[in-house]
């Protein structure tokens, strides 16, 4: 049987072995905070955009287009049906495209595809949606049968048109502002480059350095000619 000293030595040996194996193990406990880990491939919701003017307008457009689409879908009978079908197509298209743009901007997915001009894309979408919602609402108002669903669809169609018109106006202002900033930046860069080139051309110390280089090169050529002449004269004398 082992006495107490042997057991204590065995326990100390086991603890030291476990410490060594734990230190050399590649599976060390992480110290990274849980809040810093990103989920869903690094996607995050941009709350600043959703709380801003464009985010709120986009949400209103999606809601109004959805309500208009639901109202037009509840109509079971129509004669003629061309205005109803056209309003259904416009509301569904606006809902899908605006919803996709809202997801792109709110999740910052547009920054991963810089090849597309997203401001211009948003401007085109809002402009076309304004125009087609106006046409579809006017046609549906002229051809409706005074039912509750048709009247509600016409009302929400005009409301959606108004919100899209406001978004178009703000998008045009933003696009012009960005284009002016880009043009002014390019102009300032061009003026700075021209100024630097003129300073280099008219800087006197650079011209003096060029003159000194020319004089030193001419002195070297003259000394070389003198050496060649002395060598020839020595050969002739010998």
pLDDT digits 0-9 by tens, 123-147: 999 999 999 999 999 999 888 777 8
Distance (Å, whole) CA 122 – CA 98:
8
pLDDT digits 0-9 by tens, 62-85: 999 999 999 999 988 777 888 899
Most confident of 21-25, 28-32, 166-170, 183-187: 166-170
Going 33 to 36 to 37 to 39, the CA torsion angle's sign is positive
**Percent of the chain as helix, strand, coil, to the nearest 5:** 80, 0, 20
Per-residue burial over 109-127, b if 16 or more Cβ lie within 10 Å, else e, is ebeeeeeeeeeeebbebbb
- In the three-class reduction of DSSP (H, G, I as helix; E, B as strand; rest coil), residue 75 is classed as coil
DSSP state of 182: H
Query: Taking residues 35-49, what's their average pLDDT?
Result: 64
* Helix intervals (H) in 33-147: 47-51, 53-73, 82-106, 118-143
DSSP state of 146: S
pLDDT surpasses 60 at 99: yes
Going 152 to 153 to 155 to 160, the CA torsion angle's sign is positive
Q: 114: pLDDT confidence band, cut at 50, 70 and 90? A: confident
pLDDT surpasses 70 at 87: yes
What is the predicted pLDDT for the residue at 42? 64
Distance (Å, whole) CA 207 – CA 193:
20
Place of tokens 């948003």: 122
What is the predicted pLDDT for the residue at 20? 44
pLDDT surpasses 50 at 37: no
Say what percent of the chain tops pLDDT 90: 34
Which two structure tokens, joined as six digits, stand for 4? Answer: 């107490």
Single out the residue of 98, 118, 93 nearest to residue 58, CA to CA. Answer: 98
Q: Do 143 and 92 contact (CB within 8 A), yes or no?
A: no
Q: 229: pLDDT confidence band, cut at 50, 70 and 90? A: low
15 membership: H or E segment, kind and range? helix 4-24
Which two structure tokens, joined as six digits, stand for 5? Answer: 């000293």
What is the predicted pLDDT for the residue at 44? 80
Residue 169, number of CB atoms within 10 A of its CB: 13
pLDDT surpasses 80 at 89: yes
Q: Mean pLDDT of all residues in the chain?
A: 76
Distance (Å, whole) CA 141 – CA 157:
10
pLDDT digits 0-9 by tens, 7-33: 444 455 444 444 444 444 444 555 544
| Number of helical (H) and strand (E) elements in the chain, helices listed first | 7, 0
């Amino acid at each position: 049987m082992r006495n107490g000293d042997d057991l204590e030595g065995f326990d100390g040996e086991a603890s030291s072995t476990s410490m060594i194996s734990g230190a050399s193990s590649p599976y060390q406990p992480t110290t990274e905070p849980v809040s810093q880990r990103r989920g869903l491939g690094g996607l995050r919701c941009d709350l600043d955009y959703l709380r801003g003017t464009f985010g709120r307008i986009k949400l209103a457009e999606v809601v109004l287009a959805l309500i208009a689409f639901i109202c037009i879908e509840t109509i079971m009978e129509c004669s003629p049906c061309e205005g109803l079908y056209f309003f259904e197509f416009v509301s569904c298209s606006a809902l899908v495209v605006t919803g996709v743009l809202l997801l792109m901007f709110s999740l910052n997915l547009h920054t991963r595809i810089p090849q597309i001009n997203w401001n211009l894309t948003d401007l085109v979408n809002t402009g076309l949606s304004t125009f087609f919602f106006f046409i579809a609402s006017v046609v549906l108002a002229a051809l409706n049968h005074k039912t509750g669903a048709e009247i509600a669809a016409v009302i929400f169609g005009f409301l959606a048109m108004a919100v899209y018109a406001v978004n178009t106006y703000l998008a045009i202002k933003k696009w012009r502002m960005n284009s002016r900033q880009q043009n002014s930046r390019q102009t300032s860069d061009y003026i700075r480059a021209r100024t630097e080139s003129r300073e280099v051309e008219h800087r006197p110390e650079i011209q003096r350095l060029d003159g000194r280089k020319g004089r030193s090169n001419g002195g070297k050529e003259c000394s070389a000619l003198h050496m060649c002449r002395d060598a020839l004269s020595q050969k002739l004398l010998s």
